[in-house]
Amino acid sequence: MNHWINLVAVGKILLFGLVLGAAVPTLFALGLRLNITATADGRSNSGRARLMLGLSWAIFALVVVVVITGVLFIANNFIGHRTGVYLFGNGSHK
């Protein structure tokens, strides 16, 4: 460990950023792909379409939850300072 840079922490941050930075857009793209109800020739399979449509909406809901959680995590100290409610803990190390 360097005295100026904590390389372990930097590695964890990079790994976490890459995983979420790639996983959330991939899930969103998968949700878009599953949202297609018609085939290339214009026919629709209603039984499969309902299942895929429900699965795509579940994936969209998961993406929305991840994005909202990320925004709240970033704004945790601001929200806690203004309201006194710390959603993810106040970050004090006693």
Residue 55 maps to a domain: yes
The per-residue pLDDT for range 17-32, each reduced to its tens digit, is: 888 889 999 999 999 9
Q: Collect all residues with Cβ–Cβ distance below 8 Å to 34 and sequence separation of at least 6.
A: 52, 53, 55, 56, 59
How does residue 41 score in pLDDT terms, banded at 50, 70 and 90? confident
**Beta partners for residue 38, in sequence order:** 44
pTM of the model as a whole: 0.73
Residue 1 maps to a domain: no
Rounded to an integer, the average pLDDT of 47-61 is: 88
Q: Residue 18 is part of which domain span? A: 7-83
Report d(CA 8, CA 31) in Å as an integer.
34
Over 70: is that where the pLDDT of 92 sits? no
Q: Is 19 exposed, middle or buried (0-12, 13-18, 19+ CB in 10 A)?
A: exposed
Domain count within the chain = 1
Query: Amino acid letter at 49?
Result: A
Residue 24 maps to a domain: yes
How does residue 88 score in pLDDT terms, banded at 50, 70 and 90? confident
Residue 57 maps to a domain: yes
